[in-house]
Amino acid sequence: MRKVIHKFEIEHLQVLDENGNVDKKEMPKLSNKQIKELYETMILVRAFDEKSLLMQRQGRIGSYLQVKGQEASQVGSVYALKDKDWIFPMYRSSGALIARKQPISVLYQYWGGDERGLISPKNVNNFPMAIPVGTQTAHASGAAWAEVIKGTKNVSMVFMGDGATSKSEFHTGLNFAGVYNAPCVFVCENNQFAISTPREKQTHAKTIAQKAIAYGIKGIQVDGNDIFAVYAAASEAVNNARKGNGPTLIECMTFRMADHSTSDDAKKYRKDSLVKSWEKKDPVLRLEKYMKKIGLLTDAYKKKVFDDAKKKVEAGVEKFEKTPAPKKDDIFTFMFKDMPLQLKNQYEAFKRGE
Ligand SMILES: Cc1ncc(C[n+]2csc(CCOP(=O)(O)OP(=O)(O)O)c2C)c(N)n1
């Protein structure tokens, strides 16, 4: 005899549609001041993103991975956190880090190859960005559990791409969080590609959110270009985690509008028509349409937001470029209190100019 022992459904949440209309029933509680704050942060992230690409092309930073198209997924989710909560960013999380008060100049230090660019602002718990795909998922889960052991109410939020869901650490992280009821929110920015690998070749599952079910945790798919849906799902997940009601996997359906990195040419593997279809879903345009409808976006305000963002980015660039580079010796002296013998020998050779 065969019987169904479990049937499942995955919710997809959209609050703000492409024409700037909101579903009032699902609209999270946000004051006009907060909506403006979200908008201003998204514009700042985009201004940083555009400048970073230019900076890399001009040889002023080493490399960069653009956020463009994913601003709502990143800004909306961290908006649900307190400073003392942890974020575990990946290389594409510059937007989340900006929203988490990481100074622009420090971010440029990072992208310029200076390890001091990994330092979190005082009283804000930003973990360093992970370059290896997916490793941060397990770190976040463990750190969330550590906060439980310490008796705090701090939550961890971790960012990963669709590609990372094929990595073992994704499964380790979700499984551990499920078993230990760790207060961890997993935010998967499903931007449809892992470099040139399309989402359909990443997993045969219909959604990434449903992977939560296998680990006995909550899972939801949201329109990742809809800042209100992202914020609503993230708030619910963060509140649940904080109250001891377990972890959540949030799949943000979004799209990487730029190349994978400054060493990539996405035209080689993505059709223009696909990119164009996502342009219509742009998270910034969509929020602007809504704000205009409710009288929150005047031409003068918009101009000021763009001007302020540009000024902040330029001030960050100036501070970064005026900061003396770290001493070359730091490569040897930074990591260990007591330098291991092998490194000591290398350091001596370096000092002799070998
Ligand atoms: C462990 C590991 N394997 C391979 C790579 C090379 N790599 C860098 S980014 C990337 C694709 C990741 O795609 P996804 O997780 O979807 O994130 P996205 O870049 O799309 O935001 C790969 C394979 C890496 N950085 N780390």
Q: What spacing in Å lies between the alpha carbon of 291 and ligand 1's midpoint?
A: 35
Contact 86, 154 (CB under 8 A): yes
Q: What integer is the mean pLDDT of 73-85?
A: 98
Q: What spacing in Å lies between the alpha carbon of 191 and ligand 1's midpoint?
A: 12
Question: What is the predicted pLDDT for the residue at 300?
Answer: 98
Give the model confidence (pLDDT) of 277-297 as tens digits: 999 999 999 999 999 999 999
The rounded distance, in Å, linking the Cα atoms of 13 and 186 is 16
Question: What is the predicted pLDDT for the residue at 324?
Answer: 94
Question: What is the predicted pLDDT for the residue at 6?
Answer: 86
Nearest to 182 by CA among 139, 120, 127: 139
Q: How confident is the model at residue 264 (pLDDT cuts 50, 70, 90)?
A: very high
The rounded distance, in Å, linking the Cα atoms of 174 and 131 is 19
The rounded distance, in Å, linking the Cα atoms of 102 and 119 is 9
Cβ of 194 closer than 6 Å to ligand 1, yes or no, is yes
Which entry of 92, 256, 270, 286 is annotated as an active-site residue? 256
Question: Do the strands 193-194 and 197-198 form a parallel or antiparallel pair, or are they unpaired?
Answer: antiparallel
Q: What spacing in Å lies between the alpha carbon of 131 and ligand 1's midpoint?
A: 8
Q: Which two tokens stand for residue 264?
A: 């990539």
Contact 248, 186 (CB under 8 A): yes
Give the model confidence (pLDDT) of 29-61 as tens digits: 999 999 999 999 999 999 999 999 999 999 999
CB burial string 48-82: b at 16+ within 10 A, e below: bbbbbbebbeeebbeebbbbbbbbbbbbbbbbbbe
Q: What integer is the mean pLDDT of 166-170?
A: 97
Whether 328 shows a pLDDT value over 90: the answer reads no
Q: How confident is the model at residue 262 (pLDDT cuts 50, 70, 90)?
A: very high
Q: How confident is the model at residue 217 (pLDDT cuts 50, 70, 90)?
A: very high
Length of the chain, in residues? 354
Q: Read off φ and ψ for residue 267, nearest 5 degrees.
A: -65, -20
Q: Let me know if 256 is a catalytic residue.
A: yes
DSSP track, 106-121? HHHHHHTT-GGGGPPP
Question: What is the predicted pLDDT for the residue at 256?
Answer: 98
Whether 335 shows a pLDDT value over 90: the answer reads no
Q: What is the percent of the chain where pLDDT is above 70?
A: 100
Whether 137 shows a pLDDT value over 90: the answer reads yes
Domains and CATH numbers, the chain: 12-323 (3.40.50.970), 327-354 (no CATH)
Question: What is the predicted pLDDT for the residue at 334?
Answer: 82
Cβ of 195 closer than 6 Å to ligand 1, yes or no, is yes
Give the model confidence (pLDDT) of 84-101 as tens digits: 999 999 999 999 999 999
Which entry of 260, 270, 286, 290 is annotated as an active-site residue? 260
* CA nearest ligand 1 atom 7, residue: 133
Cβ of 95 closer than 6 Å to ligand 1, yes or no, is no
Strand residue runs (E) in 10-148: 12-13, 86-88, 125-126
Q: What spacing in Å lies between the alpha carbon of 222 and ligand 1's midpoint?
A: 22
Q: Let me know if 260 is a catalytic residue.
A: yes
The rounded distance, in Å, linking the Cα atoms of 76 and 67 is 13
Whether 244 shows a pLDDT value over 90: the answer reads yes
Question: What is the predicted pLDDT for the residue at 85?
Answer: 98
Nearest to 133 by CA among 207, 54, 188, 59: 188
* CA nearest ligand 1 atom 4, residue: 133
Closest approach atom of ligand 1 to CA 167? 1
Q: What spacing in Å lies between the alpha carbon of 194 and ligand 1's midpoint?
A: 6
Closest approach atom of ligand 1 to CA 132? 26
Question: What is the predicted pLDDT for the residue at 331?
Answer: 85
Is 249 strand, coil or helix? strand
Mean pLDDT of the chain: 97
* CA nearest ligand 1 atom 12, residue: 194
CB burial class (10 A; 0-12, 13-18, 19+) of residue 238? Answer: buried
Which of 73, 136, 139, 195 for mutating ligand 1's site (highest number of atoms within 8 Å of CB)? 195
Q: What spacing in Å lies between the alpha carbon of 257 and ligand 1's midpoint?
A: 16
Contact 209, 251 (CB under 8 A): yes
The rounded distance, in Å, linking the Cα atoms of 252 and 4 is 29
Q: How confident is the model at residue 115 (pLDDT cuts 50, 70, 90)?
A: confident
Closest approach atom of ligand 1 to CA 165? 15
Q: Let me know if 2 is a catalytic residue.
A: no
